[in-house]
Amino acid sequence: MRILVFFLGSLLAYHAFAQDVITANVTDAMFVCGAEHPATDGPCAAPPRVISTPSPAYSEEARKARFEGTVVLSLVVGDDGTPYAIHVAKPLGMGLDEQAILAVRSWKFEPGTYQGKKVPVQISVEVSFHLYSGTEAQAKSEAQAKKELPKAAVTSTQQIENLGASAQTAYNNRNFRLAADLSRQLTELSPRDRNAWNLLGLSLLELHQFDDAIGALKKQIEIDPRSPFAYNNLGRVYGRQLKFDEAVKQFQAQININPDDRYAHANLGMMLRDEKKCPEALPELEKALTLTPNNPGLLVAMGQCNLDLGNKEKGLDDLNRATTMASTAGVWNDAAYYLASHNLELERAKKWAETAISVESAGLQDISVDHLSPAQMGYVRALGMQWDTLGWIYFVSGDAAAAEPYVRAAWQLDTSPDVGSHLAQIDEKLGRRDDAIREYAMALAAESTNPRVHTRPEIISEARDKLVKFAGPKADIPKLIEKGKSDLTAMRTVAVAKTAKASGTADFAILISPPGKVSDVRQLNGDNGLKPMTDALRLAQINLQLPAPQSASIVRRGTLTCVANQAQCKFVTLTASEAFDAARNEQAGPPSAIAKTSPPDPHVYDNPAMQVRISFPDGWRLVSEKPASYTQPAIALFNKVGTMAFFQILQEHLVAPPELYQKIVESAFSQQDDFTHTADEEVKRDGFSGTRWKMSWKTKGVTYQGILEFFSVGDQHYRVLAFAPVEVSTLYSQDFEDMLRSVQFPTLHVSVDDVLKERK
């Protein structure tokens, strides 16, 4: 419903804007078009551009005190590029405010424009004062110190706000690589921004770059020692590294700043629970629950702690409440696993685990090798964990034979040490001693070979103790683990008969349908000479049997290597976690594709956060641009100057099938008078398949005619709409078609050349 409300609301607002005759008194200063002053609210101007910025001098008082900071000035840039009406919007003191004003008076700008005319524009600028470190700390002469006086940096407040909004949108869309790149740009433009370093740290956390994330978050704390979020996020990073003591310190520091910080209380409670310190954890979890009532994740954690402490009735009540309100498969899965861990209510645990598998499988019903989104690969990874849970429930119930297909499939899909240990225990129960030894060794090898794996120490310790027990006191344990590494590689390697005289390396996606048959194959990148191997991969025996009654297909990714003088090629599959990371990185594209080293083309609209780029003909302009929020999609609106012709792009991150998404939009439009649209027509833009409608509708007595195109890739949904009043729509039909044909989604896929360049 949030799509329906926003789509209609924004569209009607744009129609109203189109029907008004807008005039502006160009003798008055105008605001710059942007989030605070959208074109739909009235006239606004294109921003001026700074072309000359003489540096300010440091005041003697500030220099001696080694005082640094940023002054924000409000001013008007005249239609001749001269600044005037300068006043301090955010003072710094110590004489630096006056020095900033003196410097900005001498700056020169290229004027702002409105409808092609130069106009006075009201803007804000930042003037930053920073002393050089190192050399000034030494005893230097006054003359040399003066030569090293700092230069001021200028960046418009609007530019910083837009970049920050784009970075946040990218993070919200789980495009963490792009969010990190944009956040870095933001830290360069505004080094003391109150959120840039925090957002960079969060993005790096999701990219598993833990040390860099810690550095960014510590920088945020240095800038703002009473930050309302940085300590909490720093604690999360330490938690991912299993540095529990450090994590606890950070969560407590956040609570000291804000005693009612629900995130810090929740994370502290979860961390103490993971440390098996449930008496300390429960008060924190209960406090977090009072701040966020009916949070199923908190209830699951409380249920686990109460079960650990022997409070059976309370623990079961917590888990029942959590599953009653659960909307995600993870809650059912976790609740089921904790019941099994305590050998309680196993039939109920089985139902919860099956529910989790059913929910996760639903997200894979339409999975395709043509376009793999991080969300889809995330479903595959989660499904493996849920198979392990259901298998473990069977094992605890005493049915090791029923447990084996689920746990073995989970192990083949994602070789995590805890799943490997579960499989070894099943082998042990079934009397397969040698298999158990091999699985324990492989589980320990999996932990040592993957730097991203952070398995709880007690799981590793238990697996090692079991390996020593079964292998015997004379066994060479390091040698067994080393062999486990080669066994892991062998498990993920498939020999493929070479069908062509090909050599090289390429990545492929393979669709596996129940019970374990390869049903589709697609080359993702690499040597084009390996494309003929697609048919051979269809016949390959990929090492994965989907447990019955699994109905959804899953995708495995891997690398095919062919050597000229060898009769067979080798296909090595990625783990589900590795495939998820690869899809996420490819969605963002290589960092070099984001950086802009040349002035932007005035006829190109490129929005990395929306992951879209279009070209527009002469006479068209961007009139409104809004980043996504929790309740609204990202949106960009263009207008043919002086006309009622519009071109609109909306992008939304939503887990919903494309068909449902289109029905919601159709329902929204159907509320307009005389709404009609033609039958669906398939269209391709930038290699992505979409659906095209030709439509007409009436709003406020005006009949519009338009073209609407839908594109859905995983959980990213786009609608591109070109429309104008029916009486004049034919005048702009060629412009509409040119703009529609120009639509690109540069970061939703990566070309072969880009991948190869990135690897080099």
| 108 in Cβ contact with 82 (< 8 Å) | yes
Question: How far out from the chain centre does Cα 383 lie?
Answer: 20
DSSP string for 80-119 = TS-EEEEEEEE---TTHHHHHHHHHHT-EEEPEEETTEEE
Long-range CB pairs of 525-531, under 8 A, 24+ apart, other chains included? 525/750, 525/752, 525/755, 525/756, 526/559, 526/560, 526/752, 526/755, 526/756, 527/502, 527/503, 528/752, 529/500, 529/502, 529/503, 529/504, 530/502, 530/504, 530/505, 530/506, 530/560, 530/562
3-state SS class at 64:
helix
Question: How far out from the chain centre does Cα 221 lie?
Answer: 23
Q: How many domains does the chain have?
A: 3
Domain match, 655 and 534 both: no
- Residue 309 main-chain phi, psi, to 5 deg: -85, 0
Domain boundary among 142, 159, 176: 159
What's the pLDDT at 544? 82
Q: What are 145's two structure tokens? A: 């110190």
Domain match, 139 and 99 both: yes
Report the predicted TM-score, pTM, of the whole model to 2 decimal places: 0.62
Q: Could you tell me the pLDDT band of residue 149, with boundaries at 50, 70 and 90?
A: very low
Domain match, 14 and 100 both: yes
Domain boundary among 559, 574, 589: 574
User: What is the gyration radius of the CA atoms in the chain, in angstroms?
Assistant: 30
In eight-state DSSP terms, residue 52 is E
121-129/30-31 β-pairing:
parallel
Helix residue ranges per DSSP H, 496-590: 534-538, 576-588
Average model confidence (pLDDT) across the chain: 81
Is 198 a member of any domain?
no
Domain match, 554 and 617 both: no
What CATH number is attached to the domain comprising 16? 3.30.2420.10
Q: What are 725's two structure tokens? A: 């009043």
Least Cα distance to 216 among 584, 206, 580 occurs for 206
Q: What are 404's two structure tokens? A: 């084996």
Of 131-135, 228-232, 378-382, minimum mean pLDDT range: 131-135
On the 0-12 / 13-18 / 19+ scale of CB atoms within 10 A, 335 is buried
Q: Span 453-474, mean pLDDT?
A: 83
For residue 664, give the H/E element and its range.
Answer: helix 658-669
Domain match, 503 and 643 both: no
Q: In which residue are the tokens 């959980």 written?
A: 715
Amino acid identity, position 335: A
Least Cα distance to 288 among 299, 280, 279 occurs for 299
Enumerate the β-bridge partners of residue 697: 704
Domain match, 621 and 526 both: no
Rounded to whole angstroms, the Cα distance separating 220 from 235 reads 13
Reported as a single tens digit per residue, the pLDDT across 101-126 is 888 888 888 888 877 788 888 888 88
Is 391 a member of any domain?
no
For residue 10, give the H/E element and its range.
Answer: helix 2-19
What's the pLDDT at 157? 63
487 vs 55, residue with greater confidence: 487
Reported as a single tens digit per residue, the pLDDT across 523-552 is 988 888 888 899 899 888 887 888 887 778
Reported as a single tens digit per residue, the pLDDT across 654-710 is 666 777 777 878 877 777 788 888 878 889 888 788 899 999 988 877 888 999 999
Reported as a single tens digit per residue, the pLDDT across 681-690 is 889 888 788 8
Domain match, 674 and 712 both: yes
Is 385 a member of any domain?
no
Q: Could you tell me the pLDDT band of residue 747, with boundaries at 50, 70 and 90?
A: low
What CATH number is attached to the domain comprising 699? 3.40.1000.10
DSSP string for 200-254 = HHHHHHHTT-HHHHHHHHHHHHHH-TT-SSHHHHHHHHHHHTT-HHHHHHHHHHH
- Residue 598 main-chain phi, psi, to 5 deg: -135, 160
In eight-state DSSP terms, residue 259 is T
504-513/493-497 β-pairing:
unpaired
What's the pLDDT at 25? 29
Q: Span 234-262, mean pLDDT?
A: 92
| 269 in Cβ contact with 301 (< 8 Å) | yes
Q: Span 449-478, mean pLDDT?
A: 81
Enumerate the β-bridge partners of residue 693: 708
Amino acid identity, position 46: A
Q: Could you tell me the pLDDT band of residue 354, with boundaries at 50, 70 and 90?
A: very high
| 390 in Cβ contact with 422 (< 8 Å) | no
Work out whether the CA dihedral 219, 221, 222, 224 comes out positive or negative: positive
343 vs 326, residue with greater confidence: 343
The residue segments making up the domain with residue 130 are 2-159
Amino acid identity, position 249: K
What's the pLDDT at 27? 37
| 709 in Cβ contact with 690 (< 8 Å) | yes
CA atoms within 13 A on the CB side of 681: 10
Is 281 a member of any domain?
no
Q: Span 628-648, mean pLDDT?
A: 80
Q: In which residue are the tokens 């009949």 written?
A: 703
Q: Could you tell me the pLDDT band of residue 159, with boundaries at 50, 70 and 90?
A: low
What's the pLDDT at 16? 24
| 750 in Cβ contact with 526 (< 8 Å) | no
Q: How many helices (H) and strands (E) does the chain have?
A: 27, 23
Reported as a single tens digit per residue, the pLDDT across 550-567 is 778 889 999 999 988 888
Work out whether the CA dihedral 684, 690, 695, 701 comes out positive or negative: negative
Domain match, 568 and 608 both: no
Is 359 a member of any domain?
no
For residue 627, pLDDT beyond 80: no
In eight-state DSSP terms, residue 641 is T
3-state SS class at 260:
coil
- Sorted by sequence, the CB contacts under 8 Å of residue 676 that are 6+ apart come out as 695, 696, 697
Reported as a single tens digit per residue, the pLDDT across 189-241 is 888 887 889 999 999 998 888 999 999 999 999 999 998 889 999 999 999 88
Domain match, 569 and 620 both: no
Q: Could you tell me the pLDDT band of residue 350, with boundaries at 50, 70 and 90?
A: very high
Q: What are 163's two structure tokens? A: 């970049």
DSSP string for 315-373 = HHHHHHHHHHH--SHHHHHHHHHHHHHTT--HHHHHHHHHHHHHHHHHTTTT--SSS--
Is 242 a member of any domain?
no
Domain match, 10 and 81 both: yes
Domain boundary among 112, 131, 159: 159
For residue 286, pLDDT beyond 80: yes
Rounded to whole angstroms, the Cα distance separating 614 from 618 reads 13
Q: Could you tell me the pLDDT band of residue 158, with boundaries at 50, 70 and 90?
A: low
Is 30 a member of any domain?
yes
Domain match, 18 and 105 both: yes
Is 36 a member of any domain?
yes
Amino acid identity, position 327: S
Reported as a single tens digit per residue, the pLDDT across 403-433 is 999 999 999 998 889 999 999 999 999 999 9
Rounded to whole angstroms, the Cα distance separating 386 from 336 reads 10
| 46 in Cβ contact with 34 (< 8 Å) | no
Q: In which residue are the tokens 């103790």 written?
A: 465
DSSP string for 554-581 = EEEEEEEEE-TT-SEEEEEEPPHHHHHH
Determine if the peptide bond prior to 473 is cis (ω within 30°).
no
Of 295-299, 589-593, 728-732, minimum mean pLDDT range: 589-593
For residue 15, pLDDT beyond 90: no
| 178 in Cβ contact with 208 (< 8 Å) | no
Rounded to whole angstroms, the Cα distance separating 616 from 647 reads 10
142 vs 295, residue with greater confidence: 295
Domain match, 14 and 132 both: yes
Burial 124-154 (b: 16+ CB within 10 A, else e): bbbbbbebeeeeeeeeeeeeeeeeeebebbb
